[in-house]
Structure 1
Amino acid sequence: MWIASVANIDWPSRTGLTPAAQQAEYRGWLDLAQQRRMNAVVVQIRPAADAFWPSTYEPWSQWLTGTQGGNPGYDPLAFMVAEAHARNLEFHAWFNPYRVANHTDLSKLAASHPARTNPGWTVSYGGQLYYNPGIPAVRAFVQDAMMDAVARYDIDAVHWDDYFYPYPVSGVAFPDQAAYAQYGSGFSSIADWRRHNVNLLVQEMGAKIRAAKPWVKLGISPFGIWRNAGTDPLGSRTTGLQSYDAIYADTRRWVRQGWVDYIAPQVYWQIGHPAADYAELVRWWSETVTGTDVHLLIGQATYRAGASGQDAAWQDPAELTDHLTLNRSHPQVVGDLHFSAKDVRADRIGAVSRVATDHYRRPALAPAGTGGAAPAAPSLTSAVRGTGGVTLTWQRGSTGSTAGYAVYRLPGDGTVDPCALADARHLLGTVRASGGSGTFTDATAAAGATYRYLVTALDRRHHESPASNVRLVTGGGATFSVVVDNATAGGFTAAGTWGTSSYLPARYGANYRFALPQAVSDPAWFSATLPAAGAYRVEVWYPADPGYNSAAPHLVATANGTVTATVDQRVGGGQWRVLGTYDLAAGTRQVVGVSRWTSTPGYVVADAVRITRV
């Protein structure tokens, strides 16, 4: 997800916070990314020709302290990269190349600002101040300013959005005619010259990054339409603004020439939009990257979902998740970016929860890039069951450059099918590499269950090694029983329509979930890993209240189909209540659901379940 700093959109929430408060807020955003099982954050660190690090080229950003040039008292970029990597999240450093200020008064900039010492580099347009992209010295300077962060910090990618030349203001020409007269020799039109200027920025910056740190990616998130087919037969079947013509971004060329490592077009329209259909644009971008090494991610308009004033399509909780479902028909799409963090957290109309339930239920590895090679397989030295779960330890492989590890768990014993590691249901998580060894605790391992564990190594470009040796952890003959609470990581899913409460003391754990009854398919699900097929006793825990539902439907996904049992949640709470004994299949899946589909009044509650083999 994008974490925007300009105008304090996402982080920091306001200027002037103490370093401790800023850091706490940022950790909260990373916690959200982990909760939603994202594997990267895109953080804006140069929003307006300023810096979120002690730059040798530009002043401290005003969005930190409220005063441009004001020292925040720590190094935000060093802190942000370290915190992201501690969670094994990629850190994509988001720069805006040419924006100087959201006003036109040079005197309001810090006295040392390069735009004040070089006023001829700037132009005013549309009420804002920009560096002139057509001046070669400007292009060299902004590259140097960005490369300062690349060289000094362990970032994973340089990221740009759609702002190069500004979007046109009706009836007002961008004032770069003098620069065109001085530098535009050989170009028949100012438009071609402007596109050339942006092309050079992309091409040169990509080359500089690869020369300095070949593993650092260059990614761009441009406006979603390159050109319309009515203008250019190579364009998309759309009728919207054309970034090639309006803002001089020849995005198709950047991809076809391989100047970027990933492209993340902002496809900010709904499926079926009359001028810019999401489905058509995903098709066009998929065809554009075909035959290249450029990864395609889709920029998602998460900010539109459930927001007032948006089209009716965005009031449908299914719109956003339908985007990702559609993406599956285009294997070129390897991921999505959500704008922005505050909208992911807001989860209006439960749209983000729907996406997480439908598409982000398991961890995911980032796609492998070009260059580099997979490191040697690690050696899994132990897998020990303890009170907190199963703890794995391993040693780094003898060759290659290992940046991280992927941990896999398969139920039961026997030979491991190599194809099993391609099944995301077996991926437990990833760990950042540190030193010559690693460790991971599987807190979700069920007592009495038998598992096979394996670990693979990953380099900075996400090339994955062969699997380690297998370590078998047996159930030790104990009766299998597992408790899944509504707060169990990876064990509970519910849409945003389900509230959270800790009001009643008879709850199991810190809180419970609740929802009003309604004739909709919107169950809250408890998932578990069952070691073998057989008969299991299923019990539920809830805090009772006279105002709760007298016939709350509970769904049990048995080996022979889903069955429903009703529970009177007005009474009998604060203890385990038996739903029944059922034949259940082995493996990891949704086992018990609490449904809202009932005609009886009162909240239905989902708190915890216990599943015991009998």
Structure 2
Amino acid sequence: MTTLPRLVLVALTAVLALAVTPAVTPAVTLAAAPAQAAACATDPATPKRQLRAMWISSVANIDWPSRTGLSVSAQQAEFRAWLDLAVQRRMNAVVVQVRPTADTFWPSSLEPWSQWLTGSQGGDPGYDPLAFMVGEAHARNLELHAWFNPYRVANHDDPSRLQATHPARRNPGWRFAYDGKLYYNPGLPVVRDFIQDVIMDAVSRYDLDGVHLDDYFYPYPAGGQAIPDAAAYAEHGDGFANVHDWRRENVNLLVRELDRRIHAAKPWVSFGVSPFGIWRNAGTDPLGSRTSGLQSYDAIYADTRLWVKQGWVDYIAPQIYWHIGFGTADYEVLTAWWAGVVRGTGVQLLIGQAAYRAGASGQDAAWQDRAELSDHLHVNRRHPEVAGDIFFSAKDVRANRIDAFSTLAAAHYAKPALLPARGTSAAPAAPAITSATRGSGGVALAWQGGGTSYAVHRVNGTPATADPCAFADARNLLTTTRRTTFTDTTATAGTAYTYYVSALNRTHQESAPSAGRAVTGSGGGFSVVIDNADPGFTASSGWGTSAFSGQPHGADYRFADPVAASDPAWYRASIPSAGSYRVEVWHPADAGYNSATPYIITDNRTVYVDQRTGGGQWRSLGDFTLAAGTYNVVGVSRWTSTSGYVIADAIRITRL
């Protein structure tokens, strides 16, 4: 995984290479939907299943804790904030570094407490961070994948700086120094067993959802330096024609044996690796990718393609940290290559995304385009093998430089998503909704079921039977939760809905939906729709009118070319009272429309919407505090650096 020293390496290889009484209304139980949906037209912008995660790095205090020596309450508050960010951006997993430098984020009898907690290796932080992290993640229905760096001992080469009881200090024969750092020697069977024992200690004691290894296997090569493992090769290298094949087999053994041990202990725990993005170049190996960068097979002895083909991992998450069109390592080329590698294997493909590059100084011009990250996920849609993405790292997701992550989230994470299913275990039985009550705070649901988690769906109206296609993608998915209650605070007063709940097991196999539970409209709520043909809409002569698309709200919509000038189309509305309102937009979608259309909310907030997808439906811009009065509430701006028509069709404003 990219860490502070790794940033330099990635840059070098690149050169080489988001007080009233409740009015109670009756709820009606409706027939359940069929368990198997017929062939349905689905929206690629709202996939039913997609892993969405970010790496939370602890080494060098990159993400968490933000510095050493924080109090227990401060550390915990920081971690909760990272999880809340993940939820706010509609992620469903986090990958947390729990063993960064051969020291641990849990009380281990095998290795000392991590220095990144207290500032002193071996220093007790006063609580069990891993137990805390798992509990907090699961409370938000986020999977927690524990991230282990297998061989790195220290980011320095002075053994005397290690805690006196550190295994690498007590066993000097286990380690070597290389390029100013200390490593466990991958060629020693005793080391391989020890590393697995440390990881299995965490697996056996904590309710982890995944075990995750990063890209640090043998050290990345440093010019003019040789890995000092000749003695180990002499002792353990019988049967290998050269040291390079022997080194690769050492790493193969770690991966293969760890896979077996994890699944023998807990079959539901997912095991994955996030390697450097290039296995081998086609110029070296015809099985390789059309790239010309550093080759992990040769440089760090990671035969990642073999691990996939042999099924030694549940998922592979290559770090494809280069932009679309980069000559040395093109994102499109590598994504297609990895999709081909996993095809037919049962191994899931996740893509490691370089959120740290978007909008950062010193990066290529492509990374100054707010749509670059979002466009990566458009590329992913061409490959059904891509099961999701992991973003490096949490602080960059939060920074949201040049609105790059907001742009991605608006285009791809507008709705929640279930996690991809793993394995072949049987789905749980369908749950049963026991109550659905509308009140001033929304619609309160309760149900009974035997799932590990649940998915809550809502459709408009009260159909006699559910349409199976309503569950084919996530357009009707409200949330996932490990609880058996949920309050739909987005329910609009006066609108009738039908709710369904499905149950998921630990590996995310999904039950049939429950019988539907209908809630009638209560009336009295404020909601207004303003179409481009209504009196509340105004636009200059620079905006044309079109009925080209089959997805308009009403008879037509307005369009305009982007310009570097202020020429917004405005929607004027009468807001009855100051308060919180949801603002939604409707637009047709087309590949030739703009990937980052700016919507201006009256409080000077701007939300960028990718109008190439997600058309023909209401899309939420968010919840905003609006003042009472009649004024221009929402504008569609032409001022965007991305190409393609900007579209102004309709908006909906609803009092919450």
TM-score by length of 2: 0.76
- 2:619 aligns with one of 580, 584, 589: 589
Q: For residue 466 of structure 1, what is the aligned residue in structure 2?
A: 512
**CA distance 1:568–1:9, shift in 2 (3 Å):** closer
Aligned residue type for 1:406: A
Aligned residue type for 1:539: S
- Cα deviation per residue 1:86-134 (whole Å; 9 max; x = unaligned)? 0000001000000000111111111110011111000000100000000
CA distance in 1 between partners of 2:374 and 2:432 (Å): 39
How do 1:297-312 residues align onto structure 2 when only pairs under 5 Å count? 297-312=350-365
CA distance in 2 between partners of 1:192 and 1:521 (Å): 62
Q: For residue 574 of structure 2, what is the aligned residue in structure 1?
A: 539
- 1:426 aligns with one of 476, 483, 491: 476
- Cα deviation per residue 1:385-422 (whole Å; 9 max; x = unaligned)? 1111101111114xxxx210000000111121112111
CA distance in 2 between partners of 1:410 and 1:567 (Å): 29
* 2:430 match: secondary structure: coil
Deviating beyond 3 angstroms after TM superposition, the runs of 4 or more aligned structure 1 residues are 517-526, 537-543, 554-559, 566-570, 585-593, 596-599, 608-612
**CA distance 1:393–1:241, shift in 2 (3 Å):** same
**CA distance 1:81–1:522, shift in 2 (3 Å):** farther
**CA distance 1:353–1:522, shift in 2 (3 Å):** farther
Aligned-pair Cα RMSD in Å: 3.0
CA distance in 2 between partners of 1:94 and 1:199 (Å): 18
Q: For residue 46 of structure 2, what is the aligned residue in structure 1?
A: none
How do 1:42-53 residues align onto structure 2 when only pairs under 5 Å count? 42-53=95-106
How do 1:393-542 residues align onto structure 2 when only pairs under 5 Å count? 393-397=446-450, 402-414=451-463, 415-433=465-483, 438-476=484-522, 478-479=523-524, 481-482=526-527, 519=564, 538-540=573-575
Q: 8 Å contact 1:133–1:198 — kept in the other structure?
A: yes
CA distance in 1 between partners of 2:121 and 2:181 (Å): 16
**CA distance 1:424–1:205, shift in 2 (3 Å):** same
Aligned residue type for 2:459: L
**CA distance 1:611–1:12, shift in 2 (3 Å):** closer
- Cα deviation per residue 1:166-200 (whole Å; 9 max; x = unaligned)? 10111111111110000000000100000000000
CA distance in 1 between partners of 2:570 and 2:141 (Å): 27
- 1:82 aligns with one of 114, 135, 153: 135
Aligned residue type for 2:390: L
Aligned residue type for 1:298: I
CA distance in 2 between partners of 1:100 and 1:568 (Å): 51
Q: 8 Å contact 1:256–1:289 — kept in the other structure?
A: yes
What runs of 5+ residues in structure 1 fail to find an aligned partner?
A: 485-516, 527-536, 544-553, 574-584, 600-607
Tell me by how many angstroms 1:594 deviates: 2.3
Q: For residue 489 of structure 1, what is the aligned residue in structure 2?
A: none
CA distance in 2 between partners of 1:279 and 1:187 (Å): 36
CA distance in 2 between partners of 1:96 and 1:31 (Å): 25
CA distance in 2 between partners of 1:227 and 1:403 (Å): 41
CA distance in 2 between partners of 1:158 and 1:208 (Å): 11
CA distance in 1 between partners of 2:144 and 2:227 (Å): 34
Tell me by how many angstroms 1:518 deviates: 7.2
Is residue 289 of structure 1 aligned with residue 342 of structure 2? yes
- Cα deviation per residue 1:364-390 (whole Å; 9 max; x = unaligned)? 111001132211111111111111110
Q: 8 Å contact 2:565–2:639 — kept in the other structure?
A: no
CA distance in 1 between partners of 2:218 and 2:601 (Å): 63
* 1:236 match: secondary structure: coil
CA distance in 2 between partners of 1:292 and 1:311 (Å): 35
CA distance in 1 between partners of 2:444 and 2:513 (Å): 18
> Relative contact order: is structure 1 or structure 2 higher (C-alpha 8 Å, sep ≥ 6)?
2
Is residue 227 of structure 1 aligned with residue 290 of structure 2? no
* 2:485 match: secondary structure: strand
Tell me by how many angstroms 1:317 deviates: 0.8
CA distance in 1 between partners of 2:306 and 2:118 (Å): 40
- 1:325 aligns with one of 375, 378, 398: 378
TM-score by length of 1: 0.81
* 1:44 match: secondary structure: strand
How do 1:121-270 residues align onto structure 2 when only pairs under 5 Å count? 121-270=174-323
How do 1:328-339 residues align onto structure 2 when only pairs under 5 Å count? 328-339=381-392
How do 1:104-119 residues align onto structure 2 when only pairs under 5 Å count? 104-119=157-172
CA distance in 2 between partners of 1:153 and 1:588 (Å): 42
CA distance in 2 between partners of 1:568 and 1:588 (Å): 16
Aligned residue type for 1:315: Q
Q: For residue 21 of structure 1, what is the aligned residue in structure 2?
A: 74
Tell me by how many angstroms 1:556 deviates: 7.0
**CA distance 1:175–1:167, shift in 2 (3 Å):** same
**CA distance 1:472–1:524, shift in 2 (3 Å):** farther
Aligned residue type for 2:526: S
Is residue 368 of structure 1 aligned with residue 415 of structure 2? no
CA distance in 2 between partners of 1:598 and 1:272 (Å): 25
Q: 8 Å contact 1:2–1:339 — kept in the other structure?
A: yes
Aligned residue type for 2:441: G
**CA distance 1:144–1:481, shift in 2 (3 Å):** same
- Cα deviation per residue 1:406-443 (whole Å; 9 max; x = unaligned)? 0000011112111211131100000115xxxx111101
**CA distance 1:542–1:356, shift in 2 (3 Å):** farther
CA distance in 1 between partners of 2:243 and 2:527 (Å): 69
CA distance in 2 between partners of 1:321 and 1:524 (Å): 25
Aligned residue type for 1:102: N
**CA distance 1:319–1:146, shift in 2 (3 Å):** same
* 1:303 match: secondary structure: coil
Q: 8 Å contact 2:213–2:274 — kept in the other structure?
A: yes
Q: 8 Å contact 2:357–2:363 — kept in the other structure?
A: yes
Q: For residue 604 of structure 1, what is the aligned residue in structure 2?
A: none
Tell me by how many angstroms 1:328 deviates: 0.4
**CA distance 1:541–1:447, shift in 2 (3 Å):** closer
* 1:425 match: secondary structure: coil
* 1:304 match: secondary structure: coil
CA distance in 1 between partners of 2:100 and 2:568 (Å): 42
